[in-house]
Structure 1
């Protein structure tokens, strides 16, 4: 996925996340919305990781197209 495609995907996921959160009622989100929100958050983490990989590869003269999406479990376990 090219950098601009990754950024576009991040923007779309953020828009969906905002939409979901805006529909929350006083009791919060329903189970389906909470599940989708978790999926969005995992996908965002993967996209940000991919973007960082691409930029690091480019910075050091490697081909950014060699960056690969890592499994959600791997990305989620990174320290912040």
Structure 2
């Protein structure tokens, strides 16, 4: 799992940015439209990071090299049904 550390750190950073945006909105420092625009981007990046982690875990589970997993585009990742 140590190889996944940069991905975990990216997720942590994105969640921090998300919290910061919400706090800035609550403080009146940014508009609702600006928050929404930035959140859309952050959420897409988060979806991609989580997808990459899941791919890496699946590769390990099936005896494949996790380094062959790759980041998929936002529309692909966000189009999955949960």
TM-score, normalised via structure 1 length: 0.88
One of 36, 39, 51 as aligned partner of 1:37: 39
SS of the residue corresponding to residue 24 of structure 1 reads helix
What is the CA distance between 1:22 and its match in structure 2? 1.6
TM-score, normalised via structure 2 length: 0.86
Gaps of at least 5 residues in structure 1 are none
Partner of 2:73: 71
Higher share in helix: 2
Q: CA RMSD of the aligned region, Å?
A: 1.9
**Runs of at least 4 residues of structure 1 off by over 2 A?**
25-33
Structure 2: how far apart are the matches of 1:47 and 1:64? Answer: 14
Partner of 2:54: 52
